[in-house]
Structure 1
Amino acid sequence: MNDFINIFSGTDPENVSTSVKLLLLLTVFSLAPGILILMTCFTRIVVVLSFVRMSLGTQQTPPTQVLIGIALFMTFFIMAPTFNEINDQAIAPLMNDEISLDEAYTEASGPIKMFMAEETRQKDLSLFMNYAGIERPESVEDIPLTTLVPAFAISELKTAFQMGFMIFIPFLVIDMAVASILMSMGMMMLPPVIISLPFKILLFILVDGWYLVTSSLLRGF
């Protein structure tokens, strides 16, 4: 315990360097949930998967934990090239004392900015840049994260809602058809959801729904 305390209280340059690295690591861990949600493809994936469950009308099936788990691993899969680039350009050199903390931040923000900029609509980015009074940047690296992150977030939400709408259409048709048939038969007291649910699940299985949704998400990036 004393050795751990001495790391932070010592004046030796090596101890100071270790302290900075530990502080940086703790900071990254504390910000990890926000980084994962708002600066990666996680938002789009988890929203689309939620729309799939809502359109099927299966209530809590699949469970929320399963959807989040799928979204997490798909996020790691899609973001792997970006994460590897950040590790090679920023994290590894910083751990080896080859670059400073400021240089590491600059090198790490480059790949993630490039990823977000490619998925951000010009209209959304202009909204936040105009509000902040920022002139048109010459390159992606010149866009501040405080502007790019919210623009990327609302762009991802719009894309996710567009995909969700397309997912809802075939299941909505089934619901309307079942409701019309029940009304024509005078069975108005029978909830249409009970009858339409098996047909929606059957349709989802026949078209290999999970494959289609997953492939659409992967191709979107």
Structure 2
Amino acid sequence: MITSPPRPSALAALTLAVALAGASTALAQEGAPLNLPSITLGAQNAASPEQVSTALQIVILLTVLTLAPAILVMTTSFVRIAVSFSLLRNALGAPQVPPTQIIVGLSLFLTFFIMAPVFDQVHDKALKPYLDGAISQSAFFEEAAKPMREFMLKQTRKKDLGLFMKIAGEDRPRNEQDVTMSALVPAFVISELRTAFEIGFLLYVPFLVIDMVVASVLLSMGMMMLPPVMISLPFKLMLFVLVDGWYLLVGSLVRSFG
């Protein structure tokens, strides 16, 4: 009778069992007991209110770290840049070029470049004093929110901000510090989307003209079965390269946050 060879997992388990048996035999011969570590998970009563406060602070910090990607995307220049690049791909007629990974990566690096002065203020006025123990955790969040609030207010339309403050039933703010982040963040996002769509419209116009010209030429030649996109795509790419499109687009996006 032919038996099949043992699987790698079975060989690994057999090897581990033999090793443990050999180790236990050697320790038994030396007279030393074999002690295996134990792991215990549980909850204990807090000895003081400070322990409860510390545990809650850790939970809040972990929650903030979990939401960090969303905070980075929705409170910075990422929305305008990423949407503009996506509309550029559609205007060119090549939805997969450049790939999504390249667009997201370029948008992130441009976001860090644009937000560098704001991040420096957060580091100098909030993070560094907090790490040095000069301010509390609540003061850290307040100081970190000030540069971000100032940046978002500069890019947010008053009409959009008033919409969310009206929905929330908030009074008219007397100054920038009275603007709540719960109303400012969504107002900032829809303002950025509006600006990105305006940029996308300007990007579509020259490429749309090329599509119309190519479609008219093909129709006059009787080539109605030939997709105009196949003919217009090389002309679009040539036009975009000749005018140095990436230089113009990226430069305009960066300067639009000035």
In the alignment, which residue of structure 1 is the partner of 2:236?
Answer: 200
The answer to whether residue 245 in structure 2 is matched with residue 209 in structure 1 is yes
Pairs within 5 Å for 1:1-221: 23=59, 25-221=61-257
Question: What SS is found at the alignment partner of 2:67?
Answer: helix
In structure 2, distance between residues paired with 1:59 and 1:160: 17
Superposition CA RMSD, Å: 2.3
Task: State whether residues 21 and 95 of structure 1, in contact with CA within 8 Å, keep that contact through their aligned partners in structure 2.
Answer: no
**Is the partner of 1:188 in helix, strand or coil?**
coil
- Per-residue CA deviation, residues 74-133 of structure 1 (Å, 9 max, x unaligned), is 000100111111111111111111111111111111110000000000100011111111
Rounded Cα–Cα distance in structure 2 between residues aligned with 1:219 and 1:100: 36
What is the number of equivalent residue pairs in this alignment? Answer: 216
Show CA shifts across 1:153-206 (max 9, x none). 000000000000000000000000000000000000000000000000000000
Query: 2:250, 2:107 → 1: CA distance?
Result: 10
Question: Structure 2: how far apart are the matches of 1:70 and 1:52?
Answer: 14
Aligned partners of 2:134, 2:54: CA distance in 1, in Å?
A: 14
Q: Aligned equivalents of 2:184 and 2:248: distance in 1? A: 30
Does the residue aligned with 1:112 lie in a helix, a strand or coil? helix
CA offsets 1:25-57 (integer angstroms, 9 cap, x no match): 533321111111110000000000001111011
Shift of 1:20: 7.4
Q: Which has more helix, going by share of residues?
A: 1
Q: Tell me which residue corresponds to 2:25.
A: none
Q: Equivalent pairs: percent with the same residue?
A: 54
Hey, what's the Cα distance between the residues in 2 that align with 1:21 and 1:209? 48
Q: 2: distance between equivalents of 1:120 and 1:205? A: 33
Question: How does the TM-score come out when normalised to structure 1?
Answer: 0.90
Q: Distance in 1 between matches of 2:51 and 2:131?
A: 13
The verdict on how the C-alpha distance between 1:22 and 1:84 changes in structure 2, with shifts beyond 3 A counting, is farther
Distance in 1 (CA, whole Å) between partners of 2:180 and 2:219 is 57
Q: Which amino acid aligns with 2:203?
A: I
Judged with a 3 Å threshold, the aligned counterparts in structure 2 of structure 1 residues 133 and 16 are, in CA distance, closer, same or farther, namely closer
Q: TM-score, normalised by structure 2?
A: 0.78
